[in-house]
Amino acid sequence: MKLSIVIPAYNEEARLGNMLADYTKYFSGKYGEDMEMIIVVNGSRDRTAEIAEEWAEKFPQIRVIVEPSPIGKGGAVIRGFEVARGEFVGFVDADAATPPEAYQDLVEHIGDAGAIIASRWLKESKVSPKQPASRLVASRVFNALIRLLFGLKIHDTQCGAKLMRNDAVRKVMPELGLTRWAFDVDLLFQLRRSGYEVIERPTTWRDVEGSRLQVVRVSIEMFLAICRLRLIYSPFNWVVKAYDVTLGPIIHLRERT
């Protein structure tokens, strides 16, 4: 099998159907049955699971995993990785912010790299509509911290479209945790530690109505998430245990909260 795309979905009944309509038409036409889309529904309280199952009945390329617990994006992606069969394995957000043509662009340009990620912050990228100043500032501050704390010279660790070789996925999976906002950083950090090249690719990205993102709250959670992750990979990892039983549950830092 050529391609496996994992789609983590949490309360996405309003957007998942439109996304699948675009992706099934495009990728089934291009690959036939030589690809799969693995929808991992986690902790949803709406009709996300029903919608996913309806699409799976129509397209054999779709596989659905329903996890009743709120394991979050990281946990959902890992669950999808566990069963993915493609030569190339990746994930994309369920909100259709990344059009299928932009995801296929990753497949075509991965080359010999271990991973390729879509970036909204390269000069050639097309982002619409223009993002509010609060998001721009929060994103750039977060990126500066990632560079400082992890040495990752990447412009956009958080864009929800990433693709890896299957062997790279298998190599880093045992090391991945469920840190909520730091999952993408953890993934990229582990790929680099394992010696895989990670390249960025300009993308087309559109903000889709329905996002529940609250910039101030999320910015705080993201900051604490990367601090926790940095501690894990330091001589002070014992601090994480104390953190997880005090501040962690309060601010809903971990995926399972």
CATH number at residue 107: 3.90.550.10
- Residue 246 within a domain: no
Beta-carbon contacts of residue 128 (< 8 Å; ≥ 6 apart) = 205, 206, 207
Q: Tally the domains of the chain.
A: 1
Q: How is 7-20 classified by DSSP, letter by letter?
A: EEESS-TTTHHHHH
Closest by alpha carbon to 163, among 96, 73, 81, 240?
A: 81
The model's pTM: 0.86
* pLDDT tens digits, 225-246: 777 777 777 776 666 666 666 6
User: Could you list the residue range(s) of the whole structural domain that residue 52 is in?
Assistant: 3-133+152-210
* Termini Cα distance of the chain: 35
In the chain, the percentage of residues whose pLDDT exceeds 70 is: 86
- Residue 248 within a domain: no
* pLDDT tens digits, 123-174: 999 999 888 887 888 888 889 999 998 999 999 999 999 999 999 999 999 9
- Residue 219 within a domain: no
- Residue 185 within a domain: yes
* pLDDT tens digits, 187-218: 999 999 999 999 999 999 998 865 555 556 66
Of 192 and 222, more confident? 192
- Residue 129 within a domain: yes
